[in-house]
Amino acid sequence: MRRMKRLAAAIFLLGGFLATGPASADTYPSRPIRLLHGFAAGGAADTLSRIIADGLSKKLGQPIIVEAKPGAGGNIAADAIAKAAPDGYTLGLVTGAHAISAATYKSLAYQPADSFEMISTLVYYALVIAVRNDYPAKSLGELITIAKAKPGSLSFGSVGFGSTHHLAGELLNATAGVEIVHVPYRGDSQSITALLGGEIPVIVGTPVLLAPQIQSGAIRGLAVTSPARTALLPDVPTVQEAGIKAYDVRTWAGLLAPKGTPPAIVAALNAATLTALADPELKQRLETAVGGEVRGSSPEEMKKLIETEIAKWTDVVERAKIPKI
């Protein structure tokens, strides 16, 4: 009889756990959510994080606290996300650099595609290659001519090693047959300051952050990295217009969660994200923030994107003979 009572009690407790355990989305979210990203405060990733956090907070009914963990091309933040409790209360915003890390690092503490539950992509956008306005090159073609005349004498700044900005510059080296040396900085703001201060002659940057300087005449935009011109900088030609037909670089941003986050919570986050992205005001804010195009996805589509990007950038790194770190 005692054994029967103990067994009945155990079944009762187990049933209660299953009904209220972490896999249940019935009460999710019941407290604030952290949203981590791996780049400097004030940069594109930080801006995008704050915009989508605002939209998701309204849909989910809980505050979403944005936290920047810059460094190593976003790897520090990605590692923190991968190691967080898979309960839906730690999310991450990643950019194209998330896939590039698999190509540029000898080893990572996490797997870019397999250590996470994907939620949705958010936005796609191009980058811009620029120089200070008093620099001799008036076009990308002239910059390439200068670079070819003195291999290794020029340098370009980016938001950090392993960023899409970095690889965009390396792809230009490979496709144009030049050798412009990469100089990493901690975010767009630092690289723009270095350009204006004369530390570097060239920058690969985020269009929305360079646009005010380009419009004021302090910086000259030589080319955008997408096949078509961007609405934000309609007068800046594309790299392909300069004659480099094989060149195409567009980065992206998306949301993910630690591996093992319950499917019901992932589904709830995906639905909330797609609903937020459909809001005209939030859509405009995101697109204006980076001069890009809002595009949501399913978790499966986002994972496929990352896998495809890993293959693409691995090929670029190998062809450009970039040493892994």
Fill in the DSSP letter of residue 122: E
**Token pair recorded at residue 245:** 């037909």
Overall pTM surpassing 0.95 (yes/no): no
pLDDT in tens, 243-257: 998 899 999 999 999
Q: Per-residue pLDDT averaged across 181-185, rounded?
A: 94
Q: Please give the Cα distance from 242 to 47 (Å, whole number).
A: 31
Task: Give the Å distances, CA to CA, from 60 to 28, 33, 55, 272, 324.
Answer: 8, 10, 9, 7, 41
Non-local (6+) Cβ contacts of 128 within 8 A are: 204, 205, 206, 207, 210, 214, 221, 222, 223, 224, 225, 233, 236
12 pLDDT above the threshold of 70:
no
Q: 78-114 burial, b for 16+ CB within 10 Å, e for fewer? A: bbbbbebebbbbbbbbbbbbbbbbbbbbeebebebbe
**Nearest C-alpha neighbor of 206 from the set 290, 103, 298, 311:** 290
Neighbour-count burial of 141, counting CB atoms closer than 10 A to its CB (0-12 exposed, 13-18 middle, 19+ buried):
middle
Q: Per-residue pLDDT averaged across 94-120, rounded?
A: 94
**Nearest C-alpha neighbor of 89 from the set 27, 21, 31, 24:** 31
61 — pLDDT class (breaks 50, 70, 90):
very high
**Worst-scoring range by mean pLDDT, 18-27, 40-49, 121-130, 187-196?**
18-27
Identify whether the C-beta of residue 132 lies closer than 8 Å to the C-beta of residue 196. Answer: yes
Coil, helix or strand for 38?
A: coil
**Nearest C-alpha neighbor of 42 from the set 249, 228, 172, 190:** 190
User: What is the model's pLDDT at position 173?
Assistant: 93
212 pLDDT above the threshold of 50:
yes
Per-residue DSSP letters for 48-83? Answer: HHHHHHHHHHHHHTS-EEEEE---GGGHHHHHHHHH
Rg (CA), the chain: 22
Q: Please give the Cα distance from 148 to 323 (Å, whole number).
A: 22
**Nearest C-alpha neighbor of 221 from the set 304, 291, 309:** 291
323 pLDDT above the threshold of 50:
yes
Mean pLDDT, rounded, of the chain: 90
pLDDT in tens, 77-105: 999 999 999 999 999 999 998 999 999 99
7 pLDDT above the threshold of 50:
no
User: What is the model's pLDDT at position 115?
Assistant: 98
**Worst-scoring range by mean pLDDT, 9-23, 31-45, 46-60, 311-325?**
9-23
Q: Note the Cα 211 to chain centre separation in Å.
A: 19
108 pLDDT above the threshold of 80:
yes
Q: Per-residue pLDDT averaged across 265-280, rounded?
A: 98
Q: Per-residue pLDDT averaged across 208-231, rounded?
A: 93
Strands in 293-294's sheet, in edge-to-edge order, are 64-68, 33-37, 90-95, 250-258, 116-126, 293-294
- Neighbouring CB atoms inside 10 A of 1's CB total 5
User: What is the model's pLDDT at position 2?
Assistant: 47
- CA angle, 55 then 60 then 65, to 5°: 65
25 — pLDDT class (breaks 50, 70, 90):
low
pLDDT in tens, 274-319: 999 999 999 999 998 888 899 999 999 999 999 999 998 998 888 8
pLDDT in tens, 214-224: 999 999 999 99
